[in-house]
Structures are given as C-alpha cells and as structure tokens.
Amino acid sequence: MEAPPDNDVLWARSLHFTHPDGSPGLSGVTLAVREGEILAVSGPRGSGKTTLLRCLSGLEPVAEGEIWFNSTPLHTLGPANRERLRRDRFCWIGPEPALVPELNAWENAALPLMLRGTSRRRAKTTALEWLERLDVGEAARKLPHRLIQSERQRVSIARALAPAPTVLFADEPTAPLHRADRGHVLRTLTSAARSHGITVLLATNDPETAALADRTVNLLDGRPVRTVHLPEVPDAEGRAACSISV
C-alpha cells in the first residue's frame, strides 16, 4: 500500500461501490482533496455524488479501492473507529436539516461539541458565536419547529462548523431552499470554511453552486468525467410516427 502525497487531506483511489441490493454505485473513482480547498462534486441526480460522500466520510464500508485520510487508511478501519473519526474529524450537512426536534437551536449546534466532551459553557459560547455568524443568532433559543427551513439549514450548518472539523461533507445543502436563501446560505458556508481553513466537499447539481468552489469534479454514472455533455435528445422521439394525421 502506498501512502498518499502529504498535502492531500483526503485521497481515494479506484473506489468501487455496489449498493447492498446489487445496483451499481461507484465504478473506479480516484480523487484527491487538498487541505483547505472547497471541492464541488457535481453531476446529475443518480450519478453517485451522495454515495461518494458517504464512502469518503466512512458512513459506508468500501469493498474495493482505498481511502486515505491524513495517512489513516479509512478503508481498513472498523465501524467503531470510523464512528470516532466521524465524530472527531468530519462533519456532515444533509439536504434536510436533520435537527433534534426537542433541543432548541443553540443546543442543537452545541450537541457535537458536548458529545466530544466539551464543557457545557464552552459549547454554548461556541455555538452561539457560530449562530451569530450565520445570521440566526435571533433564533438561538427557539425550537426547530418554530424556525423556517432556511434558518433550520443554517442551524445545521452551524452545528457542522462549531466543532471545527477537518473535513466538512455537504450533500446538496441548499436543495430545499429558494434562490435567495440558497445564495445566502452558500456564501456563509464557503466564507466560514475559507476563514477557518476547513476542507469542504460539496455535492451539488447546480452550476451556480459549483462556481463557488475552487475545483469541480464531475461525476456521471459513478465515474469521474471531464465534461457532462450528453448527446442532444432528439425532440420527442417517434412523434411523427404516432401522429394521428399521418
């Protein structure tokens, strides 16, 4: 086994993944993520973006291929060690803000810190600072069901950023939002990541979102491609043949 270059924080080689039901997931993805960069993983729905992020973050065990995180071979770790790594080094933002419904906003944001053993006072201070920075400081004491969707998503971003992770996995973080909220949320996310040197993997199928990243990797049917230009669809195949006037 060959260790990856030093400046890559996350490195995957010829990653293959098949879903438990046998449907193909990834076929031969090789990818290197440098420290502190924002890498967009782009591609249409079903191209394997989420699967790639889940594999890289250790949520799914990899059958074939290698994943290295800072010279730790992720593909050889057991579930417990991957869970610890996820807790200590990684953070995840999903398309839905999966907040714990019975905790209010700042408690939600402070939860990962408290799970790592930080004292309550310090966790609260950090969480409140991040909520302030993401423009949801007003809502810090409200329960999630009293917030609107974009506020909830910003709380979940604060929750991901508060423990200062090494790598942040963002799986279509702006999918359920309108365009105005989308831009706001993305800008806060990217600027916070840049100012704190957090590496971000951003899965998106929106070219505008991908434009905010340093680099873009295009996926198509589970493998990286240079361009995603598909052949033009001829308009309404067989329309003439089926037309009743023929």
Partner 1 sequence: MLDLRLTRAARPAVQLRRLLVAAASAGTGFLLLSCLGYALNHPEAAGSGALRLAWCGVPAAATVYLALAVARTDPGTRPRPGLSAIGLGPARLMVISALVTALSTLLGSLVALSLFLYLRGDLTKMPFDGAAASFLAAGKSLPLAATLTLLAVVPGVATGAVALALRPRDPQPVARPQRRYLPFVRQAGGPAVEGRTGEAEAGGAEGAPAGEDTPRARAGATGARPAPAPGTDETDGGAPAGLPWAVALVATGLTAQAYAGRTPPTPAFTFTAVPSGAGLFLLGWLLTAVGLILATPGLTHLCGRLLQCARPGALRLLAGRGLMAEATRIGRPLGILCAVTAAGYAMTTLYDAPARPFGPLSALGALVVAGCAFATLLTAAVETRQCRTETTAALLRLGAPVTVLRGAAALRAFALLAFFAPLTLAIAALAAFPLTR
Q: Name the site residues for partner 1 (rule: CB under 8 A).
A: 59, 83-84, 86-88, 90-92, 94, 98-104, 107, 111-112, 114-115, 120, 141-143, 145-146, 159
Distances (CA, A) of 128 to 12, 106, 155, 156, 246: 36, 6, 10, 13, 69
Specify the residue, 109 or 192, whose C-beta has the smaller distance to partner 1.
109
What is the DSSP secondary structure assignment for residue 22, as one 8-state letter?
Answer: S
Bridge partners of 204? Answer: 42
Closer to partner 1 by Cβ: residue 87 or 133: 87
Q: Tell me how far, at minimum, the Cβ of 128 lies from partner 1, in Å.
A: 12
Query: What strand order describes the sheet that includes 199-204?
Result: 90-93, 167-171, 199-204, 38-42, 215-220, 223-225
Residue 29 pairs in a beta bridge with 15
Supply the minimum distance, in Å, between the C-beta of residue 118 and partner 1: 10
> Which is closer to partner 1, CB of 172 or CB of 218?
172
* Closest to partner 1 by CB, 26 or 105: 105
CA distance 18 to 74: 18
Minimum distance from residue 113 beta carbon to partner 1 (Å):
9
> Shortest Cβ distance from residue 221 to partner 1 (Å)?
24
**Quick check: 31 and 43 in contact, CB under 8 A?**
no
Taking phi over 0 as left and psi of -120 to 50 as alpha, with beta for the rest, 63 belongs to alpha
Residue of 87, 83, 98 whose CA lies nearest to 163: 87
The nearest distance, CB 183 to partner 1, in angstroms, is 25
User: CB-wise, 136 or 220, nearer to partner 1?
Assistant: 136
- In the bound complex, what is the minimum distance in angstroms from residue 120's beta carbon to partner 1? 5
